[in-house]
Chains A and B, each alone.
Chain A
Amino acid sequence: MRPEDIVFATVMLPLLGASLAFCAKILPKGRIAGVVEYAGALVGLGLPPLVLILLFPVVFSGQSVSGVVGQWFVGVGITFRFDALAWLVNMLGYTIGAAAWVYSLGAGPKGPAFTGVFLIQTAALSATIMTTDLFNLFVCLEIMGITSYVLIPTSRKPGATLASFSYLMVSASAMVFFLLGTYGFYRLTGALSYEGISSGLQAISSSDTMLSIVSLALLVSAIAIRVAVMPLYGWLPDAHALAPHAVSAVLSGVLIKTPLFALSRILYLFPFGMEVGELMGIAGGLTAIVGVVIALSQEDAKRLLAYHSISQIGYVVAAWGMAISLGVDTPAGTSLMVAAFLHAFYHALFKGLLFLSVGTTVDMAKERNVYVLRDGIGKLRDAGEKIPVTFIGFVVGALAISAIPPLNGFVSKTAITYAMKGSLSYYLLSMAAVGTVASFIKLSRIYWPTRKRGSLHLETGVSLGTGSNPQSKAHGLVARLTAQSALAVLCIAGGLAAPHILTIVGTLLSRGGTNSAVPPTLYSTDNLLKTGATTLGGILLFFIATSKIGSRVLHTIRNRPRSFQGLFVSFSLGTAFLVAFLVVGKFL
């Protein structure tokens, strides 16, 4: 079997699965419809990882599969490229996608329509990272967007519909500007494939440089909205906090990272790509710290997690941007890119786990406020969990995000800070790490026991008695716990097997088949001391934050005005600033 023949399976299989799921929707409800739906999910989420395993030897040896979709001529058809980057992002997407879908069997939203839309989203993710055609990227991003506008309101919360609407408006408007950027490049070069455009741009006159700068800025800011980097993050907290837990896990695990890595393909090739990377790297560092400060102020458990997604994507963007500004073929650039991907992947694992475990807890307790909800373990036990798997999942996730060894978060955060030691972002990220520890101490309070257990026990017991039949509930419990344990195991394994994983990812991302990344020293005294200092700082910050003055400051941050218009103002200002930065960089 030639690799050319099977690369498209990663896009086509989920679409096939989605069509099976929609067939299940028109069948009368019953056993057959269920079997067809599950078969669709198996085809869409189970088979593509096998295809990826088959493709591993190809990408590991430094080769890539590229060509034109449908055997058209170069210059007319859509070009694609399946390389190590595409392989890694696909792996990330399918791991989290499968875990989230299994979880959704237990906690909802259930049904063939959900499965179908979910699978289309997975296909779009895979296509986004493979495409090397600007207009095709537009289409893929729109499909990804449309499926998330559909999936967010499936939680049936009123706020989720509003969040989805705001996201739709800001993202669809930004995509029009993406289209204008595409127009600019097509006008300048007459090409749409990345390589065609970049070779065309070599020949343009200096008077056209301005148009290419503006076009690039439009593309980058439209994608930056999806990535939710500062200052374009305004849509994310509501959408991620109010979506169903399984969808939240995918949104913040996969959906905000895929466009970022797809953007790196553009920035590698286009002029001014390095400068854009530099600016986005700094924006990433700022995002990390602003995100964590706002997260610390939140009282809604899931919204706290959503702001942490912004903060953690800041880490990824900081490393990613610096990698691009250094040049990805230099050893330093490659090690930063490895660190960025590793953190994206590990963040997807532990944030997915946190969304699922905290989501389960707030569902069982029917209370989302961090200041009110207590005794989460007791609530889970009342809901039928003999062993507190959900609690263990939370602990693993929280320790991982706070970068406590030997969990995976420690590995990726150390890899990032090791590679960027001494730069401005390094200090920003170190401060953000302190805030992360503090806010997770705050969040862990939802599991603290209370004295008045008896009365609470009675209440939950009554409300559970009126639930659906016990058999389907047990079934749901198994699905939920399986998904959470799988992610928890992956978090621990990702930490323990770190040296091997670093080597593999390093080899994959060095374009030549040999590992040119500088391996970080993980368990040096320095790093362990730093972790200890960060943790102590976090505990200290937690006590400051719970003091009287601290709570007043946090209250002010939490209740800062947020408006629909603000999303557009920040988009316009962000784009203008990017253009100004590039122009000043060119003429000075």
Chain B
Amino acid sequence: MVERVLLLCLLLIGFWGVVAKKNIIKKIFGLNILNAAAVMLFILEGNRIGTEAPILESGLAQVVDPIPQALMLTAIVIGVCVTALALALAVHLYQITGSFDIDTIRERVKDEA
């Protein structure tokens, strides 16, 4: 139970980072924390039926559910892609406006248009 509460905290911290932080790099950090919380929740779920790594060897009985692990590998890859793209956009925004602050960026972009 305590793990789930901690994961909920992590999720909320990530969401708070995305929503409330002004700095867009910190927003991207927040997105990563949010993503990590979801990934760990799935891994925890797979843990309910066993604790051994799901690598097929003889004599292994108590393996974890392999499906969540396979899913989360994919989710992590997607998370990396999204992060890379978000950082690229952030750099581009910095080149245009000279700022990482979301409000400043919004104002300066409006002036340019």
Contact = CB atoms under 8 A, between A and B. Distances in A.
Interface of A: 76, 135, 138-139, 142, 146, 149-150, 153, 157-159, 161-162, 164-165, 168-169, 172-173, 176, 179-180, 183, 186-187, 192, 564-565, 568-569
Interface residues of B, number: 39
A53 B19 CA distance: 47
B38 A179 contact: yes
B52 interface: no
Interface string B33-76: 01101100110010000000000000000000001100100110
Interface of B: 14-15, 18-20, 24, 27, 31, 34-35, 37-38, 41-42, 45, 67-68, 71, 74-75, 78, 81-82, 85-86, 89-90, 92-93, 96-97, 102, 105-106, 108-110, 112-113
B31 A173 contact: yes
B86 A169 contact: yes
A179 B38 CA distance: 7
A158 B27 CA distance: 19
A52 B92 CA distance: 40
A306 B46 CA distance: 44
A162 B109 CA distance: 8
Given A172-B31, A180-B41, A565-B20, A159 B113 contact: yes
Given A139-B74, A186-B68, A165 B86 contact: yes
Given A165-B90, A169-B18, 11 more contacts: A135-B74, A138-B75, A142-B81, A142-B82, A146-B81, A159-B113, A161-B93, A165-B24, A165-B93, A173-B34, A564-B102
Nearest to A165: B89
22 contacts: A135-B74, A139-B74, A142-B81, A146-B82, A150-B85, A153-B92, A161-B89, A161-B92, A162-B93, A165-B90, A168-B89, A169-B31, A176-B14, A176-B31, A176-B35, A179-B42, A180-B38, A183-B38, A186-B45, A186-B67, A192-B67, A565-B20
A245 B113 CA distance: 17
A165 B96 CA distance: 14
A168 B113 contact: no
Contacts of B97: 158
A149 B113 CA distance: 20
A565 B24 CA distance: 12
A238 B82 CA distance: 20
Interface of A is mostly: helix
Contacts of A150: 85
Give 10 closest A-B pairs by Cβ, nearest first: A568-B19, A165-B89, A158-B96, A179-B38, A158-B109, A158-B112, A142-B78, A172-B82, A176-B34, A176-B38
A135 B112 contact: no
A315 B91 CA distance: 39
Q: Which of A146, A149, A169 has the most CB of B within 10 A?
A: A169
Q: Which of B68, B89, B90, B113 has the most CB of A within 10 A?
A: B89
A149 B89 contact: yes
A135 B90 contact: no
Nearest to A178: B38
A180 B108 CA distance: 36
A568 B86 CA distance: 17
Nearest to A139: B74
B27 A169 contact: yes
Contacts of A187: 45
Contacts of B34: 173, 176
B50 to A, nearest CB: 14
Contact of A135 (B19, B71, B108): B71
Contacts of A138: 75
Nearest to A76: B67
Nearest to A179: B38
Q: Which of A135, A158, A173 has the most CB of B within 10 A?
A: A158
B105 A162 contact: yes
Contacts of B19: 565, 568-569
A564 B106 CA distance: 10
B74 to A, nearest CB: 6
Contacts of A153: 89, 92
Contacts of A149: 85, 89
Contacts of B102: 564
Q: Which of B71, B81, B90, B93 has the most CB of A within 10 A?
A: B71
Contacts of A139: 74, 78
B14 to A, nearest CB: 8
A164 B89 contact: yes
Contacts of B31: 169, 172-173, 176
Nearest to B97: A158
Given A169-B18, A176-B38, A159 B109 contact: yes
B112 to A, nearest CB: 5
Contacts of A176: 14, 31, 34-35, 37-38
A563 B71 CA distance: 34
A157 B110 CA distance: 11
Contacts of B14: 176
A441 to B, nearest CB: 26
B2 to A, nearest CB: 18
B24 to A, nearest CB: 7
A160 to B, nearest CB: 9
A460 to B, nearest CB: 21
Nearest to A568: B19
Q: Which of A135, A146, A165, A168 has the most CB of B within 10 A?
A: A165
A300 to B, nearest CB: 9
B81 to A, nearest CB: 6
Contacts of B71: 135
A158 B113 contact: yes
Given A139-B74, A564-B102, A159 B85 contact: no
A564 B105 CA distance: 11
A569 B45 CA distance: 29
A560 to B, nearest CB: 15
A173 B16 CA distance: 11
Contacts of B24: 165
A494 to B, nearest CB: 35
Contacts of A169: 18, 27, 31, 86
Q: Which of A139, A162, A569 has the most CB of B within 10 A?
A: A162
Nearest to B83: A172
A149 B38 CA distance: 22
B96 A183 contact: no
Contacts of B42: 179, 183, 186
